[in-house]
Amino acid sequence: MISGASTCFIRIKVSRTKRIACWAAAILYVAAGLLHFLKPRFYLKIVPPYLPWHLALVWVSGFFEILGGLGLLVPRKRRAAAWGLVALLIAVFPANAYMATNPVEAGATGIEPALRWGRLPLQGLLVWWVLWCTRE
């Protein structure tokens, strides 16, 4: 019988499909996080007006997207990174909801309504994706 403390040193093999999915997610989150710094104007518009410090929120969320994406590439940090990204996806959900419900104010009139509203269930798919590809 293996004690609980020693099981953290046993490496369970992850399928090739999960490794590819994890790398794809990492690239997606790092790229999305970089956009927060390269194109902050878009993100500033979708921050709901009731939240303070819009630019700081855009930068912080971008930083944590990059950090989470990079964390997915580190086997020992992969699961923690996934849960951090889940928390981030929950935290940014109000911005996606604001964009769907207030397209004029959010500068999203050029985005088809199906795409604006489609981002909301997409958040759930993104949560599933990072948890699935990091599960041993």
| Residue with the two structure tokens 């580190």 | 74
pLDDT in tens, 27-77: 999 999 999 999 999 899 989 999 999 999 999 999 999 999 999 999 899
Q: Extract the tokens encoding 42.
A: 């878009």
Reference 26, options 130, 135, 136; nearest CA is 130
Helix, strand, coil fractions of the chain, as percent rounded to 5: 70, 0, 30
**Confidence at 13, pLDDT banded by 50, 70, 90:** low
The mean pLDDT value for 93-114 works out to 88
What is the reported pTM? Answer: 0.82
Torsion of CA 24, 40, 67, 101, to 10 degrees: -70
Q: Residue 14 above 90 pLDDT?
A: no
Q: Going by C-beta distance under 8 Å and a sequence separation of 6 or more, which residues neighbour residue 90?
A: 123, 127
